[in-house]
Structure formats: structure tokens, C-alpha cells
Amino acid sequence: MLPALFSAKYGVRKHMLFAVVAGLVIVFAFLVLPFPIAKKSSKLTLASTAWNETLGFGKILYISMPYRTDRQDAMDLLASTSNLKVTRINGVDGESISAKAVPDNANLQPSVLGCWRAHADAWRYVIDNDIETALILEDDIDWDENIHQIFHDLSLQMQDNKLRLVMPTDHERKTAPYGLDWDILFMGQCLDHPHPDYRDLVQVYDDPSVPSRESIQQEFLHYMESLGVTGDDVGKKRLVSPAYGPACTMGYAITRQGAQRLLLNLSYLGLRGPVDNDIAWTLQDGKIRGYSLTPPVFAAWRVGGQKDSDIDGKYDPNKPISENGNRGGESKNLKSSARVAMLQHLALDNWGDYKRQRLEASNNADDD
């Protein structure tokens, strides 16, 4: 009896042990293993906001002089065919700025001062409307027709940003597709220079929308090569690096805190030069934090002639207004121009369609 009883008790204990172990395995599987999967899913969900009408930003703003209705037509048309919604910020005539309103030490031509004021008004708009992030564009730009996919991929990179100095907050993980650890994100610069002491700080990733080497300007080829992107990687890789020496303000994003710091350093405390130069100097001083995206995803659209610039502001009857027109316009550093794609998307041959329909109907009748 005793051996039998012992065997029975042992069997009961053995089954209980197996049940406990199995239970722990199940708990581990449900509570631990899903974490990476859930984390990846949440990142993809957040990145999917890049497919909305503001590319995942709170607003897309663009700056345009009130009299440049031609550019406003173009921006609204371009945005609508790209499933985007843009809000206009009026450009400013520098002559209209009171001497009392000019920042300290700002010895600038009126047109250059007006350019600064328009960007400063965009920063104020972000603050006044409590917008967490905004994309700011100028009105003479182009972008890639795959703009939503580009920003979706960028979001995944920024959510896994190896260049951050601090860990993302829970709020960022839930609501900020590009993070909030930066003040300014340059994506439409016309040239750039990395910090000479921090060339190792770079995040490189695959992007099928990167243009070929032949379509990338030399300035950006040099920039990429200085950060280690060379050979066959050129034309396949895009990179994120700390912003240090960007020029031009064709396209950039700011956070609300970035808007505050820009107004502080480029208005309240004075202005040292053209707005893009002073932004670069402020980055170099370390008073604002930013990243540069290379190759840039916004580029100038050029038609030739006086239409290409509003810096001078005045019409010169001795110079051509437009040399090539929009049909002959071009942009650089893009793989697939949204402006070119727009022409194809909206192209119509109405009477040719009628003709083809009649021809098809006639052929079908002959077959019968």
C-alpha cells in the first residue's frame, strides 16, 4: 500500500508541477513575447499618420507674397493632387516694417527683412495656435510624388532615432511621429555642412525614393560622402544628421518649443543676418537643436526669369518674366517630381476619348 500511495502522491505532485510550469510559460508568452510585436505595431500605427493631409504634422504652412497669386494657385493645385492641405502665411513687404519693429542689429535690405518677418510670422502662428509641430514651406517648391511614403519611412527612423540625447517620453511615443527632441528639422535646404567634430553622428537608412547620383547636386554628394555614404549607397540611402550649416528655408519643420527658441534668438534678442544664415549661426552656437535630412525632400522649382525670385520684389521690364514656364520648369534632388506627375495625373484628351470610343464601337459592330 505504501509504494502505491507514494506513487499516487508523486504522480499528483508531478502533474501539479507540470501545470505550474505550463502556466508560467503561457504567462510569459502572453505578457513578454508580445511586447516587441506590440511595440513594432505601435510604431507603424504612428508612422501611418504620414498618410494624412498634413504628413503627420499639426499643420503645413506655406509662405507667399499676397501678389503672387500664380504661386498660390500652384501650391493649392500641387497640394490637392498630393492629398495634402496647406495653409498660407502672407509674405511681408520689408518696406512696410516699422523701424521700431526691426530687431536689434538687423542692418538688412528691406526684401531680406521682409523674408525674415514672414518666417517669424509662421513661428508666431505655431505658438499662437498651440501647434505641436508644423511643416513650413516656401511657395516655389516641388516635392516627390511619393511624399507620403517618404515621410512614413522618415517617421520610423525618427521613432528609432539613435541621435537623440534623451529618451522619448510616453507622449512622444503615442502622438509624435517624428519625435519632439528637436527644434527644427531641415528638409529643403539648398546646401549644408556637418559639424566638423561630429561626423560620426549620422543615421543612414534605405529609401527607394532617393534620386540617382546624377540627380543629386554636388553639394549634397559632398555632404553625404563626408558622413560616410559613398559608392553604391548613393542613390539608395537617405541620412539624418545633426543640423549645423544648412542654407535656404524652402522646407523645414519646427516644434512649438522650436518656434519659441527661434523667436527668442532671431527676434527678441536681435537678428544678425538673413533668416537662413541666422538659423545656421544659432545652430552652430548650440542655442537650438535640429536635424538635417539628406538628400532633401523639398526642392526649388525653377522656370527661369524674374518669376524665380521675390527677393528683389520689383519688376524689371528689361528682363524676361519667365524663360521656360511651368511646362519647361525643373527641380533637382528629387526622384519623381510631383509637379511633373501632376501634369500627367490631370492630363485629358477629351475629343480623343470620344474618337476612341466611336472607333471601338465600330470595331465591335464589325465583329458582330
φ and ψ of 287, to 5 deg: -95, -10
The residue among 106, 122, 92, 99 whose CA lies nearest residue 273 is 106
Residue 102 pLDDT > 90: yes
pLDDT of residue 30: 41
Q: What is the band of 319 on the pLDDT scale with cuts at 50, 70, 90?
A: confident
CA distances from 80 to 53, 70, 133 (A): 9, 16, 21
> pLDDT-based confidence at 23, cuts 50/70/90?
low
pLDDT-above-70 percentage for the chain: 87
What integer is the mean pLDDT of 302-315? 75
Evaluate whether 250 touches 141 at the Cβ level (below 8 Å).
yes
Distance between CA atoms of residues 227 and 290, nearest Å: 17
7 against 205, higher pLDDT: 205
DSSP letter, residue 214: G
Mean pLDDT of 176-204: 96
pLDDT at 221: 97
Secondary structure element (H or E) that encloses residue 356, with its range: helix 350-367
Find the mean pLDDT for residues 214-228.
96
Q: What is the mean pLDDT of residues 68-91?
A: 97
Distance CA 91, CA 102 (A): 16
Q: How far is CA 248 from CA 33, 133, 142, 192, in A?
A: 47, 20, 14, 9
Cα–Cα distance between 329 and 319 in angstroms, integer?
18
* pLDDT score recorded for residue 32: 45
pTM of the model: 0.86
Check if CATH label 3.30.200 holds for domain 42-344: no
The residue whose grid cell reads 525614393 is 209
The mean pLDDT value for 92-121 works out to: 96
Mean of pLDDT over the chain: 89
**Maximum pairwise Cα distance, the chain:** 118
The residues, any chain, with a CB within 8 Å of residue 361's CB and separated by 6 or more, are: none
Residue 231: pLDDT over 60? yes
- Residue position matching grid coordinates 526684401: 111
Separation CA 323–CA 304 (nearest Å): 5
pLDDT at 175: 96
pLDDT band at 281 (very low <50, low <70, confident <90, very high): very high
Q: pLDDT-based confidence at 84, cuts 50/70/90? A: very high
With a cut of 50, say whether residue 7 has pLDDT above it.
no
How far apart, in whole angstroms, are the C-alpha atoms of residue 159 and residue 209? Answer: 20
Give tens-digit pLDDT for 242-279: 999 999 999 999 999 999 999 999 999 999 999 999 99
Confidence of residue 317 (pLDDT cuts 50, 70, 90): confident
Question: What is the DSSP code (8-state) at residue 304?
Answer: S
- Give the model's confidence band at 224: pLDDT under 50 very low, under 70 low, under 90 confident, else very high: very high
What residue segments make up the domains of the chain, in order of their start? Answer: 42-344
Q: pLDDT tier at 310 (50, 70, 90 boundaries)?
A: confident
Phi, psi of 346 (to 5 degrees): -100, 5
Write the single-letter amino acid at 81: T
